[in-house]
């Protein structure tokens, strides 16, 4: 966190809930985000991440609980709060009737910003998003990655203090993702508070200072990626594949190896401080997996541990 920023939270949610009829999309979550932090909401589809983002953005009304953004309630001061937010929705909602650069200019006008500010700003953002050559192109001629970058460029037109990113890199190829991560990292360095939802553990690990694991509208755990892994998983994981028929039956024979055992339909996971040592024990029991892999524990394992389900179904 940049040292010149206050420790007072810019976002504070207390017992925040959102019900649709009987269904609780968000079920009493509480968290605080200090200025300049990159804060993540990690969870599977339908966990309530997007709903939480919409409430922060002041476009969804909570059923109960308290929410304060930059010291204001977004329901009471929607336009004023949103003036300082940048929003990157899950699905791009670019203005297809306008050209690339016009998308930035017109969007800036929605904030009431003057053209004298917007014109150089739009060019600067096109540069930032590597879309300068596409300035006069129609939006529907852009690739998926370009559209995503344009959406992000658009969200920065008002120099937001808080940037809300809902699944920012879903559907992008690895190269496009890395470009985006780099851009987001630069924003964070300049003091912008980032709130992002993702179901990619690597994204969460790369970008987030701190995150909450969300499932079924509730917070299951909170902490930095490293802390969460340390607290909820072992240092290493041994992944074994015995073929889809045998994984379950073999699991019984693996009892006692490592600290914990997780049987998934396609593989068996053995949680151990030393993965190689665990693999030796497996061989010693006369079991020969088709493939074996030792890796570091990830947030995926944390999620599996906390919810009993895997992150990407």
CB 62 within 8 A of CB 18: yes
Binding-site member from 22, 23, 76, 120 for other proteins (CB under 8 A):
76
Residues numbered 118 to 137 that lie near other proteins (CB under 8 A) are: 128
Task: Note whether 57 binds other proteins by CB under 8 A.
Answer: yes
At its nearest, how many Å lie between other proteins and the CB of residue 140?
11
Task: Note whether 82 binds other proteins by CB under 8 A.
Answer: yes
| Dihedral Cα 135, 136, 137, 139, nearest 10 deg | 70
Q: Which long-range contacts (CB under 8 A, 24 or more apart) does 241-249 make?
A: 241/266, 241/267, 241/268, 241/289, 241/290, 241/291, 241/292, 242/268, 242/287, 242/289, 242/290, 243/290
From residue 22 to residue 51, the character string flagging contacts with other proteins as x (rule: CB under 8 A) and all else as - is -------------xx---------------
Binding-site member from 12, 28, 77, 176 for other proteins (CB under 8 A):
77
At its nearest, how many Å lie between other proteins and the CB of residue 49?
16
34-51 residues labelled b (16+ CB within 10 A) or e (exposed): bbbbbbbbbbbeebbbbb
For other proteins, the closer of residues 154 and 210 by Cβ is: 154
Positions touching other proteins (CB under 8 A) are 2, 4-6, 8, 10, 35-36, 57-61, 70-72, 75-85, 87, 89, 91, 93-99, 102, 106-107, 109-112, 128, 156, 158-159, 161, 186-187, 190-192
């Amino acid at each position: 966190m940049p040292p010149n920023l206050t420790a007072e939270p810019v976002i504070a949610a207390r017992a925040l809930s959102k019900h649709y009829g009987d269904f609780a999309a968000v079920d009493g979550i509480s968290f605080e985000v200090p200025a300049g932090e990159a804060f993540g909401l990690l969870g599977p589809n339908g966990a309530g991440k997007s709903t939480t983002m919409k409430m922060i953005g002041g476009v969804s009304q909570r059923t109960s609980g308290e929410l304060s953004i930059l010291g204001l309630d977004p329901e009471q001061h929607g336009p004023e709060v949103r003036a300082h937010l940048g929003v990157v929705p899950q699905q791009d909602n670019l203005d297809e009737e306008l050209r690339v650069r016009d998308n930035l200019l017109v969007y800036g006008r929605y904030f009431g910003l003057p053209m004298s500010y917007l014109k150089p700003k739009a060019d600067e953002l096109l540069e930032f998003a590597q879309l300068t050559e596409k300035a006069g192109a129609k939006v529907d001629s852009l690739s998926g990655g370009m559209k995503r970058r344009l959406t992000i460029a658009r969200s920065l037109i008002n120099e937001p203090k808080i940037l809300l990113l809902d699944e920012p890199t879903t559907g992008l190829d690895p190269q496009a993702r890395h470009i985006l991560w780099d851009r987001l990292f630069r924003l964070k360095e300049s003091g912008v508070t980032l709130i992002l939802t993702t179901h990619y553990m690597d994204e969460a690990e790369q970008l987030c200072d701190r995150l909450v694991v969300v499932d079924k509208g509730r917070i299951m755990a909170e902490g930095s990626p490293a802390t969460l892994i340390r607290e909820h998983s072992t240092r290493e994981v041994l992944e074994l594949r015995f073929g889809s028929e045998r994984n379950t039956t073999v699991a019984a024979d693996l009892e006692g190896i490592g600290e914990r055992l997780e049987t998934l339909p396609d593989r068996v996971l053995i949680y151990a401080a030393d993965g190689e040592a665990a693999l030796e024990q497996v061989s010693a029991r006369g079991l020969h997996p088709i493939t074996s892999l030792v890796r570091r524990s990830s947030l995926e394992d944390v999620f599996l541990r906390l919810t009993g389900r895997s992150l990407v179904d």
